[in-house]
Amino acid sequence: KPQTALNNGNYDAAINTAIENLQSNKTKKNKQPYVLMLEEAFAKAVSKDMQDIQFLERDGNPANLETIYNTYLRLNDRQERIRPLLPLPVLEENRDARFSFDNYTDEIINVKNRLSAYLYANASKMLNESNSKFDYREAHQKLQYLNTINPNYQNTVLLMDEALRKGTDFVMVNLSNETDKVIPQRLEEDLLNFNTYGINDPWVVYHNNPLDNIHYDYEMRIAFRSITISPEQVRERQLVKERQVKDGWQYLEDEKGNVVKDSVGNPIKVDKFTAVTCNFYEYTQYKSVQVQGQVSFNDLNTQQTVNTYPLTSQFVFEYVYANYSGDKRALEDNLLILLDRKSVPFPSNEQMIYDAGEDIKNHLKAIISKHRF
């Protein structure tokens, strides 16, 4: 019911409902409940907002300035949404609905300036007196909001850059190969290309080529401990397939060996089937690589290891081909396809390690997403 929100003190919800219903045919009699509801809800909403502002101003806590500022914006926005609908007739009382509009411009500017000064001072204090990255990030958030409500206030943009720099965790990335195998250069480059990991944390920056002018907070070490490559194998499997296949036709005969005829006297022909056999030889080329390692995060300020994660990956090369002897009509379609294949060269060890790279990257991405500094 339209009155429910109003009776529950949800004045803006009631206002929204009324405005939505008065967008068209606002003078119709069936729209009168919305006109009266809008009139009452607006008066009560304004009264409540002004009481809240008065209380918060008397409290004198500058932390309340954002709430006061937003309340004035709401007061202004509310009346500007109603203004295009006016006049709204109250038919039974032969009058127009009454809305007491005010100009809040001075109040909005005044509170915005006080709020700007408070946010600026608060953020500046955090940047100058704190040693916590979380405080720097909160300062950045305050300055971002300040720059939204009051663009280019003093040197806000410069302070935002400072807060971003101070609040960022800079991570130096090192990759070490402790195995007896060679890691392909292009795989190493792929693994260290952090632009491809889709990292969404703006407060963590990874560098695999450290810069001299940056103080690094953490080291991420990717260490490959073992790379095991299986021998090249060809596994053979033999199947004997038998099948009844169509092999011409013959006349249908009854139990006594007489040819059966149809209703007009013609001999009836039926398909003739014969049993065929095929020896099917399936060959599976197989080679696998297993990579094992560890990802560790070290705090460079305390020289302590913060966390370690296992890094394992496996890649399997498997290729199937076949040949046969006998009558290939005995084979199913899925086996016939394999007869068109021939053996292929096995991938080199280097290629096997590189092919494991995509899986390694997925594991690394999961570790990076899970780890919190």
Report d(CA 212, CA 209) in Å as an integer.
10
Per the domain annotation, does 350 fall within a domain?
A: yes
Six token digits for residue 314 = 């496996």
Clarify whether residues 282 and 150 are in a common domain: no
Same domain assignment for residues 88 and 215: no
pLDDT attached to residue 7: 83
- Of the residues 134, 151, 167, the one at which a domain ends: 167
Are 101 and 79 a contacting pair, CB within 8 Å? Answer: yes
Q: At 223, phi and psi to the nearest 5?
A: -115, 120
CATH of residue 356's domain is: 3.40.50
Residues 201 and 291 in one domain: yes
End-of-domain residue from the set 102, 131, 155: 102
Residue 337 belongs to a domain: yes
Tell me: cis bond preceding 184? Omega within 30 of 0 counts: no
Residue 14 neighbours by CB under 8 Å, 6+ apart: 2, 3, 5, 6, 37, 38, 41
**Co-location of 362 and 219 in the same domain:** yes
- Residue at 252 is within a domain: no
Tell me: do 282 and 183 sit in the same domain: yes
How many Cβ atoms from other residues are within 10 Å of residue 194's Cβ?
A: 19
Q: Is 256 within a domain?
A: no
Contact (CB, 8 A) for 188 and 174: no
358 shares a domain with 213: yes
Instruction: Tell me which of 132, 151, 167 is where a domain ends.
Output: 167
- Residue-wise pLDDT for 276-327, tens only, equals 999 999 999 999 999 999 999 999 999 999 999 999 999 999 999 999 999 9
- Are 91 and 201 part of one and the same domain? no
> Are 155 and 172 in the same domain?
no
∠ CA 187-191-192, rounded to 5°: 120
User: Nearest 5°: CA angle at 27, between 26 and 29?
Assistant: 105
Reported as half-sphere exposure (CB side, CA atoms, 13 A), residue 337 has a value of 4
Is-contact 271 318, C-beta < 8 A? no
> At residue 301, what are phi and psi to the nearest 5 degrees?
-80, -35
pLDDT profile of the chain (373 residues), mean per 10:
79 95 93 95 97 97 97 98 96 95 98 98 96 96 98 96 96 95 92 85 92 95 96 97 90 86 87 94 98 96 95 96 96 95 96 94 92 87
pLDDT digit string (tens) for 172-205? Answer: 999 999 999 999 999 999 999 988 888 888 899 9
Q: How many domains does the chain contain in total?
A: 3
DSSP string, 39-94: HHHHHHHHHHHHHHHHHHHHH--GGGHHHHHHHHHHHHHHHHHHGGG---EEGGGT
Same domain for 20 and 131, yes or no, is no
- Report the pLDDT value the prediction gives residue 155, as an integer from 0 to 100: 96
User: Are residues 161 and 220 part of one domain?
Assistant: no
Q: Looking at the structure, tell me whether residues 138 and 177 fall in a common domain.
A: no
Residues 10 and 69 occupy one common structural domain: yes
Specify the pLDDT at position 99. Answer: 97
pLDDT at 1: 58
Question: DSSP character for 263?
Answer: T
What gap in Å lies between CA 332 and CA 111, rounded to an integer? 82
Question: What distance in Å separates the CA atoms of residue 311 and residue 350, rounded to the nearest whole number?
Answer: 19
Residue 172: domain span = 168-241+277-373
- Residue 299: C-alpha distances to residues 283, 306, 312 (Å): 52, 6, 24
